[in-house]
Amino acid sequence: MNDTIVGVIAVVGAAFIFVAGIGVVRFPDLYTRMHAATKASTVGIGLICAAGAMAIDHGTAKIVLAAVAIFVTAPTAAHLIGRAAYHDEHVDMRLDGVDDLAALLADDHDGAEPDPREG
């Protein structure tokens, strides 16, 4: 019974990673691709790590450490990619609301010109 549960959890985790890969290929812009690459793959890897921890008697600490490393690095990398894309002039941004980050960055630069993409 335990092997069946481990197998189901691992397959569900692999399905999340597969869907993340499809999202990276199919989504139209950087921000939605970044969302697919980090959210779904992190959940998928977490499920696969949980299945591995259930299947392996010794070495669970290493699996948990690997999962924690991924849970920390994937969102951090996505945040840095998003910030770099925000500052890049060649990335198309369509904002539906107010660009609060542009106002914060303008305040940080003490009188520097606000972002020209601000509406």
pLDDT of residue 16: 94
pLDDT of residue 81: 85
CA distance 107 to 114: 9
Backbone angles phi, psi at 28, to 5 degrees: -80, -30
pLDDT of residue 83: 82
pLDDT of residue 29: 82
Residue with tokens 């996505």: 78
CB-based contact 29:90 (threshold 8 Å):
no
User: How far is it between the farthest Cα atoms of the chain?
Assistant: 65
pLDDT of residue 117: 60
Per-residue pLDDT for the chain (119 aa), expressed as one digit of tens each?
789 999 999 999 999 999 999 998 998 888 888 888 888 889 999 999 999 999 988 878 899 999 999 999 998 988 888 888 877 766 666 667 777 777 777 776 655 555 556 55
pLDDT of residue 12: 96
**Polymer length of the chain:** 119
pLDDT of residue 14: 96
pLDDT of residue 112: 53
Q: Which residues 6+ apart lie within 8 Å of 60 measured at CB?
A: 53
pLDDT of residue 88: 76
CA distance 3 to 11: 12
Domain residue ranges in the chain: 2-108
